[in-house]
Homo-oligomer: A and B are copies of this chain.
Amino acid sequence: MKKHILVIPGDGIGPEVTAWGKAVLEQVGKTFGHEFTFDEALMGHVAIEATGDPLPDETLEKARKSDAILFGAVGHAKYDNDPSAKVRPEQGLLKIRKELGLYANLRPIMLFDELLQASSIKPEILQGTDILFFRELTGDVYFGEKTRSEDRQTASDLMIYHRYEVERIAHKAYQAAQQRSKRLCSVDKANVLESSRLWRETVQEIAKQYPDVQTEHMFIDNAAMQLIKNPKQFDVVLTANLFGDILTDEASQIAGSMGMLASASVGESTGFYEPIHGSAHDIAGQNKANPLASILSVALILEIGFGLIEESKAVVALVDRALKEGYRTGDIADSNSDKNKILGTAEMGKLV
């Protein structure tokens, strides 16, 4: 198979983790006889520094021409502390999601047995958890109109959904549920929000087309609680953009660490694959970041992007083996971990 992959390392720990994702992809290419070619492009703070634009046209062009995009992270404390900054790294990420029509963000919560102890949640509560989030990614309050009054005393963001936006991601989520344990939980705040009522109505309609899937509707506040109280109750979870942002970060604690979770954004064209963790500037460049989320993003590229199931499984198996052999990065180590097996980014990357 011949595929062209665009690597967008981005900010903070982005470059150090994507380097290992890319290395694993190269290795898979060699081992399985695929021809993977690579290019690189700028996004986020590094792109603002170089060009003034968080998503330069060149990056977008390269993205459109690639078969898959491996992304790191964007963000910088400089902008976080300055709410009045007009140009921000995150705009690059939001714009590429919109431009490429990446409306469905898949976030599988994988549980590696060896990491059961790394979570703040009790192992007996976690054991057996297997959740696949479908987060809507190109609508909601993220993309609705923003206003700031002239006197700067009032600010607003429009939380808005169109029925077709809910329909297309609902179909994807139901199709996935059919392949899994046939249960889908749709999360909203329909007791308060009109956009959530449209969401619920639409999901109720679509549900009729998938009579083999059992549908549940849950309010976001309750879902945030249930997710830690009893995560096993969930299989496929379908959410709007903002609620999905919150729930999937929360769910990362189920997997032991954000450093273990990968995500795939798909939709109208080229898929976009990234760790769910952020740019983590506090540990950037210190060889401390966990490269496994980027490596697991590569597993998603192989599975979802290229349909290379065997190759994808091989990558997950390598990660599993490293963990079974007791190797950890700092974020997933606990008091029982062998101190000699706590590795830096590069060592863990090489090991896998």
Contacts and interface: CB of A to CB of B under 8 A. Distances in A.
Contact of A224 (B141, B229, B249): B249
A194 interface: yes
Contact of A228 (B120, B146, B161): B120
A162 interface: yes
Contact of A195 (B122, B152, B155, B195): B155
A228 B253 contact: yes
Interface string A317-339: 00000000000000000000000
Given A83-B198, A120-B229, A154 B148 contact: no
A117 to B, nearest CB: 10
A228 B228 contact: yes
Contact of A83 (B122, B155, B201): B201
Interface in A182-234: 189-198, 200-201, 204, 217, 220-222, 224-225, 227-230
Contacts of A121: 120-122, 228
Interface string A92-122: 0010000000000000000000000000111
Report, as a range, how many residues of chain A touch the other chain: 35 or more
Contacts of A229: 120, 253
A155 B198 contact: yes
Contacts of A163: 152-154
A160 interface: yes
Interface string A237-256: 00000100111111011000
A116 to B, nearest CB: 11
Nearest to A190: B83
A258 B81 CA distance: 34
22 contacts: A80-B217, A81-B217, A90-B192, A120-B122, A120-B125, A120-B228, A120-B230, A122-B122, A141-B193, A152-B198, A153-B162, A153-B163, A154-B161, A155-B160, A155-B194, A155-B197, A156-B161, A157-B195, A158-B159, A220-B246, A221-B245, A228-B250
6 pairs of A and B residues whose beta carbons are closest in the complex: A155-B198, A83-B197, A221-B249, A156-B160, A224-B250, A146-B194
